[in-house]
Amino acid sequence: MEIRKITIAGAGTMGYSMAEIFARKGYDVILWNHRSATLERAKTKIAPDMVNHISYTTDPAAFRGRDLIVENIVEDLAAKSDFYKTYSPLADEQTIIATNTSGLSINTLAKSVKGPERFLGMHWFNPPTLIPLIEIIKNDHTRDEVAKTIYDLALSIGKKPAIVEKDAPGFAANRIQLAVIREALSMVKKGIISKEGIDAVMKYGLGFRWACLGPLETADFGGLDVFAHISEYLMPDLEDSHEVPSLLAEKVKEGHLGVKTGEGFYRYDGDKAARATRERDRKLKALYDALYK
């Protein structure tokens, strides 16, 4: 299945970033949004050398005659379901349809898609221009060749795809991420380590190593007998709550949501947010260049 013509539905940060990435690799890209003002704003965010290589429209005709449609609208189950009920019947039968949801059930969304066998998740990570991973999530009816086509497409734009064979809440990356955050916040709350300390442990130890070796590769190098022995005494002591971590819930209740509000676990008042974002992107770019260029 060859992909050349791509429509991105939704012109927010992820949508216009995807459009730019695909256009830069020579794909025929349409960026669709139901509001023209959002499209105009997207044009100001796309790199100047690429902005004229993308078509912009509010016309539903953007969903006809395409090889791939990637939906990237608001992260809301009802809104996405309505989108698929309205627009998936417009797509040609052979058109692959993908959603960039970060955690909504692919099986549930598939119920609203005409032709669920050509539907799957294509989960990009923010910032999409710098994070190489794309999760490809099958629903119970996704054809294998559809998943393989999107896997190959991700490789063609320089990404590092991983196929999630079964739909599960949070897919793979967010399940791992939330398990780490749960244990990290538990240790901070118990006074075992400070928030600065826990971030140092991840950045300079686990995260540094995991950028090169996954957790299972790490276990192989460390010795599975060693990891089994550690598991015997450590697993019973690890946090296993099924509730939102209390430190996280308290921050949300106080309106401290992180960089976007100027305070989260750390403060980002004044120009700290912009500086922190630039520094994050600089480090991600340096890491990507070191490992993959």
Q: DSSP assignment, residue 245?
A: P
Other C-beta atoms closer than 10 Å to the C-beta of 178 total 16
The predicted model scores a pTM of 0.93
Report the alpha-carbon distance of residue 24 to residue 41 in Å, rounded. Answer: 19
Of 66, 78, 81, 90, the residue nearest 8 (C-alpha): 66
Q: How far is CA 67 from CA 4, 17, 151, in A?
A: 6, 19, 15
Residue 253, classified by CB atoms within 10 Å of its CB into exposed (0-12), middle (13-18) or buried (19+), is exposed
In the chain, which stretches have pLDDT less than 70?
none
Cβ partners under 8 Å of residue 134, min gap 6: 122, 123, 124, 125, 154, 159, 160, 161, 162
Of 176, 179, 160, 129, the residue nearest 280 (C-alpha): 129
Q: Which residue has the tokens 């600089």?
A: 282
Q: pLDDT per residue over 46-105, tens digit each?
A: 999 999 999 999 999 999 999 999 999 999 999 999 999 999 999 999 999 999 999 999
pLDDT of residue 1: 80
pLDDT of residue 293: 85
What is the helix (H) or strand (E) element at residue 124, kind and residue range?
A: strand 119-124
Token digits of residue 238? 């690890």
pLDDT of residue 43: 98
| Burial track 197-218 (b if 16+ CB lie within 10 A, e otherwise) | ebeeeeeeeeeeeeeeeeeeee
Report the alpha-carbon distance of residue 114 to residue 122 in Å, rounded. Answer: 18
